[in-house]
Structure 1
Amino acid sequence: MVHRNCIDIPHIIKVSRHVHCITYNDCLKAGNWKCEVCLKEINWTCGAYSCSQCPDFAIHMRCATRFGILDVIELESILEDTTDAKAYEVIEEGVITHFIHKNHTLKLEEGGDANGECRRCTACTYPIFSSLFYDCTVCDKFIIHQKCAYLPKKKIDPFYKVSMTLAAYTYDLSLCDACQNYFEGFVYASDNDIIRLDVRCGSITEPFVHEGHPHHSLYVSYSTTDKFCNACGDKAHMVLSCEECGFFLDVKCSILPKMVKHKNDKDHFLSLCYGENTNEQYWCKICEEVLNPKKWFYSCDYCGITFHIKLGIPGL
């Protein structure tokens, strides 16, 4: 027995909340399945859309084909998602080439301590501290975080649902269409070059997992009414939201670095804190105003000093 409206559903589709194409199956494997859109249980005997590359990913048929979720109906002959193109090529263990700096090889290195030289990633322009990074073996003009080097060359961005291509920064100064901050570094640009995302926002995928809200995944959502970011308290229309508990994170806070350095504490790293449930009064070291400990802030584990997140990172 099949509903008349269910007969013509497409077999292979592309949805905004997953990087791969998903396929409709009349029956899923036996188990406890949860829809990645509505987060409700999926009756595995009734079938659903699932991903062949991500074994735990499944979506109700009606959730996958509803407005705002369904992107493009793919041809039956498409077997893989071509937007997953790699931007790098492995030469040997710990050595790669990147298509933006393809004439020189890059060697994998490990960052130093807080007192070491501060170098900035060519792609995202954030400092490189203790994280793994690739350094050019020939010149000193290209250094990149390992995670930035592994970003795909082409992707469907979750904000505007269009195809984006990774490129080197070639503009005098450009405004990111997601976080509304001016940026340098690499850029994800739409095919018509109308939409530009800095590589930090361009790296966001759905479902989005953040340490500040570890129990549930976040998804891009839009609202005609203002939503208040749980991290900074600012209003925003475009947010990353948790549909289970009403947690909202604006785009600029979702890409905050977990660790920073500041001239007011040159000997130590500052760590991003996701709020504390305390009545203790905190003060920002820079503006000397009261800091809300229930919102996100930067702090030094050694000195005990605290910073507003906007003041902890110059330029934000």
Structure 2
Amino acid sequence: MEDINLLELKEEESAESKATLKNVDSKLDQSVDSEICEVIKTTVQEDGTEIATKIKHFSHEHDLKLTNEVPNNKICDGCVRAILTPSFYNCVDYSFFLHISCTILPKIKQHPLTLTYSKRSKFRCDACYKSCNGFSYHCQRCDFDLNVHCSLTSNTLTHACHEYRLYLSITNHAHKCSICGTERYQVFRCTTCDSVLDFKCATLPQTTWYYQHEHPFTLCYTPEDDSNECYCNICEEERDPKHEHPKQWF
């Protein structure tokens, strides 16, 4: 069996099939309703824009209020990534936070996958294979899960670490990720060169927080000097930049 490129499969579909899939996907992705997020209170800004200042979200038992403060090491309970913008929703009684974008995720995505929430029990994302909590798109029949970031990743990828476009491929043999060296069957491949990215590396956040440091960190692809050596500022030991810091990065 030859390698399968998802884009090539799409090109082989008839125009009628494409239109049908697009229509179904559009309807499913727009199926956000009060079961996911209910607007309780709104306000009109000076420019006439109406914004929701209080909402009820299915993932939390209390109302969430819009906050316009500068975040400090706050993590979104939905996508479990750092909140870096001054506007987000939070619960005033409990330490619960959501990106604005995470409150408007679609309830259902094509497969079908349903948006679920799990704060304490973890799940394994079937795209990046990482252990996750927070929001997931879940298929109960297949026992299949995608975290938020993998669910939003398209079949074509333009990434800062590579000059050419990468294409999602499902292959019959494992490919080694050019960044971390992990071998996966579902990867992003470059048709110009042999570069490969797995889902884990493709969906790394460009900016994140570290709980012992006051400023955000930016994802880099080369050492700051010409030594090709990377040292951890916490343990002061040399580190392989391809390896993630265990459980301490948000």
TM-score by length of 2: 0.71
Between the aligned partners of 1:240 and 1:282, the Cα distance in structure 2 is 27
* 1:119 alignment counterpart: 74
* 1:200 alignment counterpart: 149
Structure with a larger share of its residues in helix? 2
CA-to-aligned-CA distance 1:216-272 (integer Å, 9 cap, x gap): 2x3321222332212223222221223344432111112212223336x62433210
- Answer whether contact 1:105 1:136 (CA < 8 A) is retained: yes
**Alignment CA distance shift 1:193-1:144 (3 Å):** farther
**Alignment CA distance shift 1:232-1:184 (3 Å):** same
Residue 83 of structure 1 pairs with residue 37 of structure 2: no
CA-to-aligned-CA distance 1:137-190 (integer Å, 9 cap, x gap): 65434311233233222213xxxxx22111111773322222222211111101
* 2:245 alignment counterpart: 311
* 1:236 alignment counterpart: 184
**Alignment CA distance shift 1:261-1:214 (3 Å):** same
Q: Which amino acid aligns with 1:121?
A: C
Q: Which amino acid aligns with 2:74?
A: R
TM-score by length of 1: 0.58
* 2:66 alignment counterpart: 107
Tell me which stretches of 4 or more aligned residues in structure 1 moved more than 4 Å. Answer: 70-73, 87-90, 276-279
Matched residues, number? 229
Match for residue 218 of structure 2 among 271, 283, 294: 271
| Aligned Cα root-mean-square deviation (Å) | 3.9
Between the aligned partners of 1:132 and 1:203, the Cα distance in structure 2 is 23
Question: Any residues of structure 2 matched to 1:14-25 within 5 Å, and which?
Answer: none
RCO higher in 1 or 2 (8 Å CA, sep ≥ 6)? 2
Q: Alpha-carbon deviation of 1:202?
A: 2.4
Between the aligned partners of 1:203 and 1:133, the Cα distance in structure 2 is 21
- Answer whether contact 1:105 1:137 (CA < 8 A) is retained: yes
Match for residue 134 of structure 1 among 64, 74, 88: 88
Match for residue 166 of structure 1 among 96, 104, 115: 115
Question: Any residues of structure 2 matched to 1:136-151 within 5 Å, and which?
Answer: 136=90, 138-151=92-105
- List alignment gaps of at least 5 residues for structure 1: 1-15, 18-36, 39-60, 157-161, 292-296, 298-307
Please give the secondary structure, in 2, of the residue aligned with 1:168.
Answer: strand
**Alignment CA distance shift 1:120-1:181 (3 Å):** same
**Alignment CA distance shift 1:62-1:228 (3 Å):** closer
State the identity as a percent: 23
Q: Which amino acid aligns with 1:284?
A: Y
Between the aligned partners of 2:179 and 2:80, the Cα distance in structure 1 is 22
Match for residue 176 of structure 1 among 114, 120, 125: 125
**Alignment CA distance shift 1:290-1:193 (3 Å):** closer
Between the aligned partners of 1:209 and 1:281, the Cα distance in structure 2 is 25
Please give the secondary structure, in 2, of the residue aligned with 1:275.
Answer: coil
* 2:229 alignment counterpart: 282
- Answer whether contact 2:164 2:190 (CA < 8 A) is retained: no
